[in-house]
Amino acid sequence: MNLSWRIGDVTVTRIVELETTGGTRFLLPQATPDEIRNIGWLSPHFADEAGKLKMSIHALVIDTPTLRVVVDACIGNDKTGRRVPSWNQRQGCFLDDLEGAGFTRDSVDIVLCTHLHVDHVGWNTMLENGKWVPTFPRARYLFGRVEFDFWRNHETDAQASAVLADSVQPIFDAGLADLIEANHRLCDELVLEPTPGHTPGHVSLRIRSRGEEALVTGDFLHHPCQMHHPHWSSTADTHPEQAEQTRKTMLAALVQRDVLVIGTHFAAPTAGYVVQEGATFRFEPVPADKNHAR
């Protein structure tokens, strides 16, 4: 089910590519079943009764009065060289689901990648007659300058090379790429916010409209359990200490204000509010009747 939320004049819609329960210990090794069961508020939405994490890979389509933006382009079909076996040569129905929700490929104005990891850039491109071509042919694709330079100049592993080759470089070849700064403003309602640590140029997206506010996390938080344990860094964090500090800083700020937090990998209901709980934090999901299924 696709969920959507309104923030003033802005609508955010979740389009799911893949959902999973369990199999995430490679990402958050400290999140053992015993530890997760001890965080009672995670069940039933974000963990099952056995203490296995529930997670999602999804894109967010953001409609403002002037722009349609796709944030984070998931894994993609037909890709190779991915470390997670089930992410290789996928033949999923993401594009059909996107169009079924009312979003044609040529209606997208901007594609924003919060960072350049494999599960955030895949649908930047699609395979057409043996060639990788932009999935959204009318869009400008926004890549952080710091992020792009890091992966181009400092990462030599096989997966990173494959990701750049099939999901990033074809966008530059097509003349659709823009390198941007970490505080870039997309329009009156949308502005980037630097949240480094997971990767050097990682950004989140702040939405403000008619006095209402939301934050699309990207991967400075992979799962709500990191609100209870901000020191739990992902194995995918480039700089774990910086990632931890970013989480603590962002959570402390979010708890002070009425900001709807939309998690890039949070299972349904995906959005909610950060609440102080003693010396740490918990996630209070938006009740289902406040979400609008498309």
Q: Is the pLDDT of residue 97 over 60?
A: yes
Task: Note if the pTM is more than 0.85.
Answer: yes
Residue 231 has pLDDT above 80, yes or no: yes
> DSSP 3-state assignment of 136?
coil
Average pLDDT over residues 226-249: 97
Which residue's structure tokens are 């009740």? 287
The answer to whether the beta carbons of residues 19 and 56 sit under 8 Å apart is yes
The pLDDT of residue 292 is above 60: no
Structure tokens at 159: 């997966």
Percent of the chain with pLDDT over 70: 97
Instruction: Spell 175-196 as b/e; 16+ CB within 10 A means b.
Output: ebbeebebebebeebbebbbbb
| Digit-coded pLDDT (tens) for 150-194 | 998 865 678 899 999 999 999 999 999 999 999 999 999 999 999
All residues at 6 or more sequence positions from 41 whose CB lies less than 8 Å from its CB, including other chains: 282, 283
Cα(123)–Cα(16) distance, integer angstroms: 12
More confident residue, 37 or 290: 37
User: Measured between alpha carbons, how far is 268 from 50 in angstroms, rounded to an integer?
Assistant: 18
Domains by residue range for the chain, with CATH: 4-290 (3.60.15.10)
Query: Using CA atoms, how far apart are residues 5 and 286, in angstroms rounded to an integer?
Result: 10
As a whole number, mean pLDDT of residues 231-247 equals 97
Distance CA 237, CA 256 (A): 26
Q: What is the mean pLDDT of the chain?
A: 95
Q: Give the pLDDT of residue 159.
A: 86
Q: What is the pLDDT of residue 2?
A: 84
Rg (Cα) of the chain, in Å, rounded?
A: 18
Structure tokens at 202: 């990682």
Reference 223, options 213, 235, 214; nearest CA is 235
Paired tokens of 28: 């958050």
pLDDT at site 158: 84
- On the question of pLDDT at 226 being above 80, the answer is yes
Dist. CA 201–CA 213, nearest whole Å: 23
* Residue 24 confidence class, pLDDT cut points 50, 70, 90: confident
Each residue of 103-151: pLDDT tens digit? Answer: 999 999 999 999 999 999 999 999 999 999 999 999 999 999 999 999 9
Cβ atoms of 266 and 284 closer than 8 Å:
no
Task: Please tell me the predicted confidence (pLDDT) of residue 294.
Answer: 36
For tokens 């494999």, name the residue: 118
Element (H, E) at 216: strand 212-216
